[in-house]
Structure 1
Amino acid sequence: MILLGMIIVGAIFLVVGWAVTTEMLQHRAWRRRVASGDTDIIAALIEEALGTWRRARPPKGIHPGTWAGIQSAQLVAVEPDSATLTASAEGEFRTEGGQRVQVISPLDDAIAIAAKLLDMMLYDVPNLRLGTVRVDVYTTFASPDGTLTQQPILTVTADRAVAEDLAWDALTPAEILGRFEAHYVRDPAGRAIPIQLPPVTGVPPRPAAGAAAEAAPRAEHPTE
């Protein structure tokens, strides 16, 4: 019985060791592809992170509205060392004294979403350390005929060299954006005004089918 137990324990260690080694080799292969400027793998890593965030509950300390905006984020373009994402912000209303009143404006919501999304994109995407990240935030406007459209109200581009020196937890979202190339406009009443976005650089992410086809060989040959 003792011998059988030792054999079982040894087999478990072998299986666990093989799984850990395989995963380490796979992550190493991904990092090599990122370092080579492979935009397909860069997009795949970002899409995987976005998918994880969409399925997650709001982390402690993050406003649910801010988290909802982060979950709305979409990757629109990648380059070897940068990425551009879009997100949506709608503000927050609350019933007070029998009336629905706005307690967080779409622009204030957008500022909080952009600051947190930059933080997560720079530091929370496994196997990826982008040099720059751009976030464009949209909100809903009603045209005179009642048609609803989404238009951009904020754009910000963060540089890692600047980000590394920031005390992220000690700054407000507006202060964080103030350290980067951010642009947004308020009207005299403090409401967001649609802005003109600069051209998006890079290539769009591959369709899901193409990304899946690319991932299969990597899973079979992680050391390549």
Structure 2
Amino acid sequence: MEWAVLGLFIMFVIVTYIVVQGTRAALAWRKAAAEGDVKVIRDIVEDSLGAWRSMKRPKEVSPDVWRGIQGMQIVEVDAELVRVSCQAEGDYRLVNGRWVETANPLHEAMAVTAKALDMLLYELPHHKPGRVQVDVYMTMREPDRVTERVCILSTTASREDARQVDWEEWTTAQIVEALGGRYRMDDLGQPLPIEVEAPKSVEAEDAGAPPAPSRR
């Protein structure tokens, strides 16, 4: 009986130690991110993107939108800004022997943008970025031209502007419009390429950043 009690006590001490260490690491990351440590912020974002890539798609999110979320890549990170890029291709189906567009790439880009902004603004652990920029790309295929990847929608949202958005009730197009999303369309409603600014050079990063807190 005494050995069983001792074993339980030792197990309790070990678990408590692990929890305390994890909490201390999380607090260290939160403090470093709040102080503008770019390396820590980048690690937080990369860790979150990696977790979302392996996460099961939420039922309320369409497969096309979730594919865009899982394809997000970091473009630029600084003390205030998190900038990512992702992909939207639309959807075509064969109907009565003809290919019919069932999802416009720009509409899909808006849906991906709205979801990405929501997640990056409110679901990053240990860091609340002041601004988030989402650049959505598609593959442009034209006769006699090399296939290229072009940006069709770029949206930058500050935390203050995001507070004015009704994320539950507004359509994705309304969200993008309210946040000043930039895009162009031709006469048929198809997206056209837009110019986006090149990312700044990577900031110097602190080699002494605290270790990543474990996910529980």
TM-score, structure 2 as length reference:
0.91
Change (3 A) 1:174 1:205: farther
Aligned to 1:181: 180
Tell me which of 206, 210, 213 is aligned to 1:218. Answer: 210
Q: How does 1:79-98 map to 2 (within 5 A)?
A: 79-98=78-97
What is the CA-CA distance between 1:198 and the residue it aligns to?
Answer: 3.3
Pairwise mapping of residues 191-206 of structure 1 onto structure 2 (< 5 A)? 191-201=190-200, 203=202
How many Å apart are 1:219 and its aligned residue? Answer: 3.2
| Structure 1 residue ranges (4+ consecutive) displaced by more than 6 angstroms after TM superposition | none
Q: Does 1:71 align with 2:70?
A: yes
How much does 1:199 deviate? 4.3
> Percent identity of the aligned residues?
33
Gaps of 5+ in 2: none
Q: 1:28 to 1:40 in 2, by over 3 A?
A: same
Q: Which moved more, 1:130-139 or 1:172-181?
A: 172-181
Residues in 2 aligned to 1:188 and 1:130: alpha-carbon distance in whole angstroms: 37
Q: Over the residues paired in the alignment, what is the CA RMSD in angstroms?
A: 2.4
What residue in structure 1 maps to residue 168 of structure 2? 169
1: CA distance, partners of 2:134 / 2:105: 15
* Separation (CA, whole Å) in 2 of partners of 1:53 and 1:47: 10
Can you list the C-alpha shifts for 1:47-103, whole angstroms capped at 9, x where unaligned?
A: 111111111221111000001111111101111011111111101122333433211
The answer as to whether partners of 1:66 and 1:112 remain within 8 angstroms in 2 is: yes
Structure 1 gaps, min length 5: none
Cα distance in 2 for residues equivalent to 1:117 and 1:198: 19
Which residue does 1:60 correspond to in 2? 59
Deviations 1:15-39 (A, max 9, x none): 1111110000000000111011111
Number of residues of Structure 1 aligned to a counterpart in Structure 2: 214
User: Going by fraction, where is helix more abundant, 1 or 2?
Assistant: 1
Residue in 2 that maps onto 1:129: 128
Q: Aligned AA for 1:34?
A: A
Structure-2 separation of matches of 1:70 and 1:38: 25
Residues 205 and 50 of structure 1: CA distance in aligned 2, closer, same or farther (over 3 Å): farther
Please give the alpha-carbon distance, in whole angstroms, between the structure 1 residues aligned to 2:75 and 2:159. Answer: 20
